Structure 1
Amino acid sequence: MRRDNQVLIFDADDTLWENNIRFERAIDTFLDEVARPPISRAAARAALDRIEAANAKTHGYGAQVFLRSLVECFEQLRGRPADAAEQARFAALAASITSAEVELIPGVAQTLPALAARHELLLLTKGDQAEQRAKVDASGLAGLFRSVHIVAEKDFSEYYWLIGEEALEPERTWMIGNSPKSDILPARAVGLNAVFIPHQHTWTLEEAELDPADSRVLRLTTFAELEEHF
């Protein structure tokens, strides 16, 4: 049974369009270079994950932060600064994640306009302002949303702010996304409903355990299933 007249807040990266797969491709190429005996591929990836987590807290997200993490990881694993040629290769990898092309998740192009006809839609995404705005514009979806919010981090305080900014009624508002850490848990903590749509390429640092008994978290397998519930 469909719910009527709801407010649906959508995550962007890996909910509306592909994103982390670009990072994974760049990281695979990076690991080809740094994962050499005695450093295993798993150990190199673990080191990069730790560095990315630390840099995200201090510097946020986006291509330049990703580049910083690649360089720091290389220098940590190799025990020397990256030379000019290596710096250029890492810069090219970082640039590869900011392609102007946006690949929508299957079902988004058909489902989102149908939802917009019955509900109020908002977009909430985190990251570098210019990079995220470019993706929103390139997606062709911006006109479907009542408002678009690009924030540095999607934590409890940002959700509290959004509730006040948009005068939201939590009982009829849903946060829809693929990230347990950034979309589901903080939304539930401030009293919003949530829809979890897993993505096979969700960033490792966005994973977290969800309460299987939480009846206010709707779990779907595809984006198109939203039309069955909203």
Structure 2
Amino acid sequence: MPQFPPGQTLLIDADDTLWENNVYFERAIAAFISYLNHHEYSPAEVRQTLNAVERETILAHGYGLPSFTRSLVSTFERLSPEPLDEEKRQRVVGFARSIAEQEIELLPQVEETLRDLASRHRLILMTKGDHAEQADKVRRSGLAGYFAAVEIVAEKDPAAYSSVVARHQLAPHSSWMIGNSPKSDINPALAAGLHAVFLFHKDTWILEHATLATPPEGQHLIELDSFQKLSVTF
């Protein structure tokens, strides 16, 4: 039997919650590091530089493939002993382009679980990133019909959650954020007064790692290891 009654509002993350995402970035990064083939820096040091560059790029340009592409190019320029000519630039850009060519790969039992949850609860898809890029993923996933609304925000912070709560007139005591990122899905949602469900994903992006916050009194934080277990929770 579900622990919580029908009529909950479930805000559900997209990337690495409904479908695979970061694994494709990791493959592109591995190929990029191999191509850079730097003799002075280890692969771990190259990755550390890329992580730092990505943080800078996100602040200036937001999330998404264009931002990731900028980060790869900038990292190559910083670390390569040779100048970045047009041939090398196109090769580096190609690593990012390979991600865009990936088909949407739903995680196990996602569609069946959404169908079940939508029969009892109000579902809202809430994702962050480039609006056109994320909207295209939602369209290609074939899952849009299970959601009462789709929210694509530039950043998932407490203010963004509070805005969604106000816009959809949500009752915090019966509203939940569900996702794989402590940094973006769990901690800011708890800070905004919502309950949360942390779904572990082994390939969660390193920049989304954070210690899970302790829920304030009266709020719930549930940890699950698969999407389908939501059906027995809600």
Shared fold (TM-score, shorter chain, > 0.5): yes
Equivalence for 1:181: 183
**Cα distance, 1:11 vs. partner?**
0.3
- Please state how far the C-alpha of 1:80 moved relative to its aligned partner: 5.3
Q: Give the aligned residue type for 1:102.
A: I
Q: Which moved more, 1:34-43 or 1:216-225?
A: 34-43
Deviates more, 1:98-107 or 1:56-65: 98-107
2:222 aligned residue = 218
| Letter aligned with residue 218 of structure 1 | I
What are the Cα deviations for residues 108-155 of structure 1, in whole angstroms up to 9, with x where unaligned? 021110000000000110111111111000111001101001111111
Q: In 2 relative to 1, CA 128–170 (structure 1 residues): closer, same or farther, beyond 3 Å?
A: same
More divergent stretch after superposition (29-38 vs 78-87): 78-87
- Paired residue for 1:84? 86
Q: 1:207 aligns with which of 209, 215, 226?
A: 209
User: Could you list the runs of 5+ residues in structure 2 that have no partner in the other structure?
Assistant: none
* Amino acid corresponding to residue 233 of structure 2 in structure 1: H
2:137 to 135, 138, 152: 135
Say if 2:187 and 2:213, in contact at 8 Å, map to a contact too: no
By how many angstroms is 1:35 displaced? 3.9
Q: How does 1:66-215 map to 2 (within 5 A)?
A: 66-78=68-80, 81-99=83-101, 101-211=103-213
Look up the SS of the partner of 2:178 in the other structure: strand
RMSD: 1.4
By how many angstroms is 1:54 displaced? Answer: 1.0
Corresponding residue of 1:31? 33
**Aligned partners of 1:149, 1:191: CA distance in 2, in Å?**
18
Structure 1 Cα separation of the partners of residues 82 and 60 of structure 2: 23
Report the Cα distance in structure 1 between the residues aligned to 2:53 and 2:97, rounded to whole angstroms: 19
Give the TM-score normalised by the residue count of structure 1. Answer: 0.96
Structure 1 stretch displaced more, 111-120 or 207-216: 207-216
Count of residue pairs brought into register by the alignment: 230
TM-score normalised per structure 2? 0.95
Q: Which amino acid aligns with 2:131?
A: Q
- Matched with 1:43 is 45
Contact persistence 1:156–1:189 (CA under 8 A): yes
**Runs of at least 5 residues in structure 1 that lack an aligned partner in the other structure:** none
d(CA) in 1 for partners of 2:226 and 2:37? 35
Rounded Cα–Cα distance in structure 1 between residues aligned with 2:22 and 2:82: 29
CA distance in 1, matches of 2:134, 2:99: 12
Q: Percent identity?
A: 48
SS of alignment partner, residue 161 of structure 1: helix
Structure 1 residues 79, 157: CA separation in 2 closer, same or farther (over 3 Å shift)?
A: farther
Match of 1:55 among 45, 57, 78: 57
TM superposition shift of 1:82:
1.2
1:227 partner letter: S
